[in-house]
Amino acid sequence: MHSKGNSCCCSFDECKLGTEWLLSRTRHRPKIAVICGSGLGFLAESISNKQAFRYEDIPNFPVSTVPGHDGQLVFGYINDKPCVFMQGRFHLYEGYSLCKVTLPVRMFKLMGVEMIIVTNASGGLCQDFKVGDIMVIKDHINLPGFAGQHPLCGPNDERFGIRFPCMSDAYSKDLRKLALDISTELGYSDFVREGVYCMVSGPNFETVAEARMLHILGSDSVGMSTIPEVTVAKHCGLRVLGLSLITNKVPLDYSNEEKVNHEEVLHISKMRAEMLQNVLNTFIARSDQVETINSC
């Protein structure tokens, strides 16, 4: 632990307090955590033996402020796999520090979770992508991180992880392969792809010039979340799978009259519900096929 003390708002002890509060109220001991993106809270619907906690009741937990993010933690089983689902995530643009945004990930680690599946809604930059495609995240570009908005800035608590974590394999290769194999088996290969996700802070959608820049930099899709959670998950040794639903195409030229909006994002999320849920549930059911620990 850093000798100067921890200036971050979510210390090890604060994470522990929330974790112990939960563990003393549930018999569930999840090994897999799922974060549901915008409009994707339905992913928790097929959980059996459900037990839910509202975010506002959990000590030190932030609360959801964005439409399409329900605000509860749901414990239960998918097949025979113990899971916990976040129905609603937190974003930088809501005014939360990235430390607070990622506090649930550290709580999952403390409760014994080994793998995290992050989902999100994002805008397609890759010209081959269509609305409704599912992108298995291969890598990311942490744009806010370049500007110092990074969840690991500040004193490093070694109980979570090392000072300089490797990120070149943040999204486990084996998990990506399993997700892609499952998609093929389900007959979804036409609309399941792999790509690079880029985070912007939001809350505005991109200008045309910004979108062009992100595309030139190598981003296939853009959103306002996920990367802080993945970074913290990798830091504390969780295996990560990322699934991004392409809810809109990001205009890359000035002649395009389409205007991106959050209602459209939520609408497309609903439309693709069944397919995304099939991929996710099959993945969870078969997740023990992949045993490799992801480390640099």
Which of helix, strand or coil describes residue 151?
coil
Site for ligand HPA in 263-292 (CB under 6 A): 265
Q: Give Rg (Cα) of the chain.
A: 18
How far is Cα 277 from Cα 232, in angstroms, rounded to an integer? 25
Q: Among residues 73, 103, 121, 143, which is the contact residue for ligand R1P, using CB under 6 A?
A: 121
122 is an active site residue? no
Q: Which is nearer to ligand R1P, 99 or 243 (CB)?
A: 243
Q: From the CB of 216, what's the least distance to ligand R1P, in Å? A: 21
267 is annotated as contributing to ligand binding: no
For 230-265, b where at least 16 C-beta lie within 10 A, e where not — what string? bbbbbbbebbbbbbbbbbbbbbbeeeeeeebebeeb
Q: Which is nearer to ligand HPA, 41 or 123 (CB)?
A: 123
Q: Among residues 91, 100, 176, 235, which is the contact residue for ligand R1P, using CB under 6 A?
A: 91
Site for ligand HPA in 221-240 (CB under 6 A): 222-224
91 is an active site residue? yes
Cite the beta strand spans of 4-133 per DSSP E.
32-36, 48-54, 72-78, 81-87, 115-124
Binding track over 102-131 against ligand HPA, x by CB under 6 A:
-------------------xxx--------
Among candidate residues 69, 140, 215, 235, the one labeled active-site is 69
Q: From the CB of 34, what's the least distance to ligand R1P, in Å? A: 13
How far is Cα 215 from Cα 233, in angstroms, rounded to an integer? 26
Q: From the CB of 122, what's the least distance to ligand HPA, in Å? A: 5
Q: What is the chain's percent helix, strand, coil content, to nearest 5? A: 30, 25, 45
DSSP at 105: H
Q: CA quadruple 255, 134, 171, 63: dihedral positive or negative? A: positive
Location of structure tokens 């549901």: 36
Q: Which is nearer to ligand R1P, 11 or 221 (CB)?
A: 221
Which of helix, strand or coil describes residue 295?
coil
Q: Which is nearer to ligand HPA, 99 or 135 (CB)?
A: 135
Contact status, residue 22 vs residue 63, Cβ threshold 8 Å: no
Contact status, residue 198 vs residue 141, Cβ threshold 8 Å: yes
Q: Among residues 11, 30, 32, 38, which is the contact residue for ligand R1P, using CB under 6 A?
A: 38
Q: Which two tokens stand for residue 39?
A: 């409009």
Binding site for ligand HPA (CB under 6 A): 121-123, 205-206, 222-224, 247-248, 250, 260, 265
Binding site for ligand R1P (CB under 6 A): 37-38, 89, 91, 120-121, 202, 223-226, 262, 265
Residues labelled catalytic? 38, 69, 91, 93-94, 121, 224-225, 248, 262
Residue numbers in the known binding site for phosphate are 38, 69, 89-91, 121, 225
Residue numbers in the known binding site for a purine D-ribonucleoside are 206, 248
Residue numbers in the known binding site are 38, 69, 89-91, 121, 206, 225, 248
